[in-house]
Amino acid sequence: MLVQLSLVFIIVWLLVLRWERRRMIQLASKFGSPNLWQLPVIGHSYVFIGSDEDRMTAFQKLGRKTNNTKEGIISFWQGHKLYLSVSDPKSAEFILKNCLEKDDIMKISRLTTGNGTVFAPVKIWRPRRKVLAPTFSPKNLLEFAKIFSRQSDIMVEQLKPVAHSKDVSIWNFVNTYTLDSVCESTLGVSIHAQKLIEQPLLKSLEQITILDSARMCQPWLYSDTIYKMMPAYKRHTKCRKMIFDFINEVIRAKRNLMQEEKSLLKSESEQAVRQEGVRSFLELLIESSGGDKGYTDLELQEETVVLVVAGTDTSAVGTSFTILLLSKHLDVQEKIYQELQEVFGDSKRPIVPEDLPRLKYLDAVIRESLRLYPPVPVIVRKVENEITLPSGETLVKGTGILVHIWAINRNPKYWGDDADLFRPERFIDTPLKHPAAFISFSYGPRACLGYQYAMMSMKTAMANLLRNYQFLPASNAGTKQPIRLRFDIMMKSVENFTVQIKPRF
């Protein structure tokens, strides 16, 4: 009797659920599915089960299938929720301008970072973005360029002992460079990560993103109650504590330093002069904390964590993929070196901000690398109110939108038949066919505020590295061998960006 009642309950529940989702089911049928079996309860989520390399392969297949449709949109079910994968720039532009709320799945990232700006709901994101924006002003960027130059000099020195090795993973060198740069430029503190043997912070950051990405692809782990019973949650908690302990120490040190400076600058005029100088993002946040309307200590921690996580990984991934591509395209690498020779000659002088606009071919190479290998391959938004796409299709409230950056950046309708080829000249001789055809830093009101910051950091690092080293393919990787990819929120190389390094002098 109990079994029969249970079966009746399940059948009734499924019928009610289907009735409630009838409009989503109709919407899904309009756009079609990726020609895969939709299983009860879990939908198509079984496709994303496996290793981080398997998940990235699944996202690539989904992107190619989306590009092969007329509308550049395809539907799939993640558990009981409908998602639309979008690779058409026109639809993506409309969605990113009108659907500002992050999808519910991003609550998983908020377990790591809290309500930091990048992952926060709109009501939190909007006022906090106004505080963050001045950090990336042109005046600040000029000062940051000096930091990038100095930190990249350290990276060049750190590579010397391994430059003659057979194969070298450049990931840790680039990642510590970006971490040092982020901490000094936006937090106003020096942590000397490049000179430390152990990197517990970076290990925790990498481990926690792997855990988060695996959970995002498995709807049965969306429930916090269920997830907290899993072994992964214990590892997640340990990594999160490590990250927040580091952030709290940075905030404490900065607060003490600001208090000391304030006590030394006794007169109001001296303090006014200090206020007019370049101030870090952390300084602005600390000054905005406390009081009825200021940031709480928790909010201060959240914003600082997001800045370190987002600022470090994106630039590091972008730079590392560029190096990896150049190791496979020695002709392109040589053209960059000739450009560097025209700007610097045989001089050993440091890179200054005025040099960067002259490096036009290097700029095109980095953009082409970001097009083919965007650090964040997909982003997700939520339809909060019914909206109608330019194509005429109405999106139902509650639908999740997966804006497929990897697929948009390779859409042959906008990039041509050679969309999968590495050809930097396309950013020199061909204007974009649509402003949202290249969105490696997202698009619309919630696009990455640090876009210019990241480009300046990557350009400075690449210029300094290529002035001193030539990069060759790893001993087991030919120039034609495709790059194996993995997904852990960011897109990275399975082989950990392994190359051979040859000193130029």
- Indicate the annotated binding residues for heme: 448
Among 119, 309, 302, 116, residue whose Cα is nearest residue 208: 309
**Gap between the terminal Cα atoms of the chain:** 83
Contact 100, 253 (CB under 8 A): no
**Binding site residue list:** 448
Contact 438, 419 (CB under 8 A): no
DSSP-derived letter for residue 14 is H
Residue with tokens 């020609």: 35
R_g over Cα of the chain: 24
DSSP 32-66: ---S---BTTTBTGGGG-S-HHHHHHHHHHHHHHH
| Measured CA angle at 304 (ends 291, 92), to 5 deg | 110
Residue 29's Cα: distance from chain center in Å?
A: 32
3-state secondary structure of 378: strand
Among 383, 291, 425, residue whose Cα is nearest residue 104: 383
Among 441, 465, 464, residue whose Cα is nearest residue 371: 441
Please state the three-class secondary structure of 74-143 as a single string. Answer: EEEEECCEEEEEECCHHHHHHHHHHCCCECHHHHHHHHHHCCCCCCCCHHHHHHHHHHHHHHHCHHHHHH
CA atoms of 263 and 267, how far apart (whole Å): 9
Bridge pairing between strands 394-395 and 400-404 = unpaired
Among 341, 315, 336, 312, residue whose Cα is nearest residue 326: 336
Residue with tokens 């006794």: 266
Bridge pairing between strands 400-404 and 81-86 = parallel
CA atoms of 208 and 109, how far apart (whole Å): 10
| Tokens coding 92 | 């993506």
Among 276, 285, 217, 286, residue whose Cα is nearest residue 255: 286
